[in-house]
Chains A and B, each alone.
Chain A
Amino acid sequence: AQSVSQHNHHVILSEAASLELGCNYSYGGTVNLFWYVQYPGQHLQLLLKYFSGDPLVKGINGFEAEFIKSKFSFNLRKPSVQWSDTAEYFCAVRSNTGKLIFGQGTTLQVKP
């Protein structure tokens, strides 16, 4: 069965620190990849997505992610985090059945 793994469950950073959240998936075919963010008390919002083309994808609020096919990875990065980035982050892969499969989520806490 296809699966998505997010390695970091809880990350604590100081403001201005760099961020990288890991995401690995298990499907070897053509994939569509997503990062969603859930700010405290809010619903999931799409941060960025990869369907094809340039493997470096830029999203909202300065986030980017790189699709590395050989490593089955789609890591999320931001060079300098802000307190307002405190949220839970979910990686998701569209399976060959067309359904989204989510990772377990990573809680990011940014200290001011």
Chain B
Amino acid sequence: DAGITQSPRHKVTETGTPVTLRCHQTENHRYMYWYRQDPGHGLRLIHYSYGVKDTDKGEVSDGYSVSRSKTEDFLLTLESATSSQTSVYFCAISERAGATDTQYFGPGTRLTVL
């Protein structure tokens, strides 16, 4: 398994509260991604990073921000959590973004917003 950890693994929070999820990798891969997984939707890309301090939006980025100050860490922040952000969040990494790229996933964080 790729060396990817996510913290926390489970979190329950209240509407309006800021939340930060952390993804940590030991593979020194350049690319990192945040997805959310919801029933009937598969996985949808929230944000991704193509290097330290280089990030871009994905398909469902509203209400989320990210930061990457080190190669190994990619943070996802919900500035003011809403119930619609209750989901399972997966981090992924890849060495490249080209034709032979393969993404490897972390264990996930289950977030419940009450």
Nearest-neighbour CB distance to chain A for B36, whole angstroms, equals: 11
Nearest-neighbour CB distance to chain A for B59, whole angstroms, equals: 8
A105 and B42 within 8 A (CB): yes
**Nearest neighbor of B42 in chain A, beta-carbon distance:** A102
Choice from B1, B40, B42, B48 contacting A99 with Cβ under 8 Å: B48
Convert B54-94 into 0s and 1s, putting 1 for each residue whose CB lies closer than 8 angstroms to a CB of A: 00001000000000000000000000000000000010000
Q: Could you say which interface size class chain A belongs to?
A: 20 to 34
Of the A-B pairs whose beta carbons lie under 8 Å apart in the complex, a sample of 30, sorted by A's number, is A4-B42, A6-B42, A32-B99, A32-B101, A34-B102, A42-B107, A43-B105, A43-B106, A43-B107, A43-B108, A44-B43, A44-B90, A44-B105, A45-B1, A46-B102, A46-B104, A51-B99, A90-B42, A98-B97, A98-B101, A99-B45, A99-B48, A100-B43, A100-B103, A102-B42, A102-B43, A103-B42, A104-B41, A104-B42, A105-B42
Give the interface of A toward B (CB within 8 A): 4, 6, 9, 30, 32, 34, 36, 42-46, 49, 51, 90, 92, 94, 98-100, 102-105
